[in-house]
Amino acid sequence: MLQRYDDGWKHQSRRNLSDEITPLLAINGIIVLALLVLALSAPSASEWISAAAEAEFVGGAVPAAVPTQIAEPVEAIKIVRSN
């Protein structure tokens, strides 16, 4: 897009979408890489993760199944027509 300045016509600088996405991807990649390095540097990290997953998903007693009751109308439905 052209924009008028005192010294003539110049191109207006526009940022591309890739200019905004590239730093975000780089920052996220650095964070993921740092977390992987931390997890691999501590050998007990896999044990912590396993214990956390086991505590989260392994439950004590299984809840008893409640019998399902199907609703039935008390009285028959009557259709009333007005003529």
Tell me the two tokens of residue 67.
């019998």
The pLDDT tens digits for 13-68 are: 666 777 788 889 999 999 999 988 887 887 777 788 788 888 877 766 666 677 77
The domain limits of the chain are 16-44
Measure the CA–CA gap between 54 and 30, rounded to whole angstroms. 29
